[in-house]
């Protein structure tokens, strides 16, 4: 029996976020170069996206490349960018078939032009789709996103469009990259690391965290289902008592 059959479809997380980690170690374990791991990681992405679509998850947000990842060896960064261009190009057909809308968050202007153009093309092409919203966090830093939101708000206050007293959590959220998305209820990190690495810091305030030792290239939809099942067993109290929420 698949974990999928045990999932309560009425209690699905609307938004699942994933820190896809462990590609390099996966390759190293096989005596290969790190890029071999990234390439195999793409197969996991495809399978997990399919799993999310089959289940009916509405938002899937994948940590694909962090701002800090720019500091990796140049050769690896270039190889990842090239892999991204090729993958996005190839996947458009699949996204159209599966009614997936592609979205991207992060400092996208940092991307090489070819990557930026391919991404924009895919975002535009898939924009009429109404199914899963697949968001790639690319050249993404949560702290940068928060500072950027603060600056946007400051500009609006300065111009008189907004008064200081109007600033509340909703205004703040509306100035994040994720303005039109619900917060993730579930955050998954692979590869056995227990950290957030500058990902969606504001948005995961009340997310359930799920860590698995599996390296990303070994992660499949069945693992996603297992994580969702684990999520469904948890009691989300939001500061209240168990009696109150039951």
Give ∠ CA 123-127-129 in degrees, rounded to 5. 125
Handedness of CA 185, 189, 192, 195 (dihedral sign): negative
Q: Binds 231, which of ligand IPE, Mg ion, none (CB < 5 to 8 A, cut-off by type)?
A: none
191 binds ligand IPE (CB under 6 A): yes
Is-contact 53 9, C-beta < 8 A? no
Beta strand 15-19 with 59-66: parallel, antiparallel or unpaired?
parallel
Is 165 one of the annotated active-site residues of the chain? no
Residue 20: CB atoms within 10 A of its CB come to 23
Site string for ligand IPE, 82-121 (x = CB under 6 A): ----------------------------------------
Q: Report the residue number, 36 or 116, with the smaller CB distance to Mg ion.
A: 36
95 binds, among Mg ion, ligand IPE, none (CB under 5 to 8 A by kind): none
Single residue of 32, 33, 58, 69 touching ligand IPE by CB under 6 A: 69
Residue 29 within binding range of ligand IPE, rule CB under 6 A:
no
Catalytic site residue 69? yes
Q: Does 63 participate in binding ligand IPE (rule CB under 6 A)?
A: yes
Determine which residue in the list 13, 16, 17, 21 makes contact with ligand IPE, applying CB under 6 A.
21
Could you say which of Mg ion, ligand IPE, none residue 200 binds, taking C-beta under 5 to 8 angstroms by partner kind?
none
Residue pair 98/53 in contact by the 8 Å Cβ criterion: yes
CA-to-CA dists, residue 190 to 181, 215, 232, angstroms: 23, 6, 19
Catalytic residue among 47, 54, 69, 152: 69
Whether 21 contacts 214, CB under 8 Å? no
Residues 6+ apart with CB under 8 A from 75: none
Minimum gap (Å) between residue 140 Cβ and Mg ion = 14
Tell me the closest approach of the beta carbon of residue 150 to ligand IPE, in angstroms: 23
**Concatenated DSSP letters for 59-75?**
EEEEEEEEGGGGGS-HH
Residues known to be catalytic:
21, 69
Name the residues that contact ligand IPE, by CB under 6 A. Answer: 19-25, 63-66, 69, 80, 191, 193, 195, 197, 216
């Amino acid at each position: 029996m698949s974990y999928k059959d045990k999932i309560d479809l009425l209690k699905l997380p609307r938004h699942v976020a994933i820190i896809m980690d462990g590609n390099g170690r996966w390759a190293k374990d096989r005596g290969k170069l790190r890029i071999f791991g990234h390439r195999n990681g793409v197969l996991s992405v495809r399978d997990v996206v399919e799993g999310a679509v089959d289940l009916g998850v509405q938002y899937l947000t994948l940590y694909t490349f962090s701002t800090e990842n720019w500091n990796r060896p140049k050769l690896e960064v270039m190889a990842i960018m090239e892999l991204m261009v090729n993958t996005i190009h190839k996947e458009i057909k699949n996204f159209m078939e599966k009614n997936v809308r592609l979205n991207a968050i992060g400092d996208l202007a940092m991307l090489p032009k070819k990557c930026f153009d391919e991404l924009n093309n895919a975002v535009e092409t898939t924009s009429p789709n109404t199914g899963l919203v697949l968001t790639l966090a690319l050249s993404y830093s949560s702290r940068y996103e928060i500072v950027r939101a603060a600056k946007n708000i400051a500009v609006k206050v300065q111009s008189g469009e907004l008064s200081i007293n109007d600033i509340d959590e909703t205004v703040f959220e509306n100035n994040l990259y994720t303005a039109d998305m619900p917060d993730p209820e579930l955050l998954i990190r692979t590869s056995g690391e227990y950290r957030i690495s500058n990902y969606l810091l504001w948005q995961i305030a009340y997310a359930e965290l799920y860590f698995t030792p599996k390296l990303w290239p070994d992660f499949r939809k069945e693992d996603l289902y297992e994580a969702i099942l684990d999520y469904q067993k948890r009691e989300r109290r939001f500061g209240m008592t168990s009696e109150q929420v039951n």
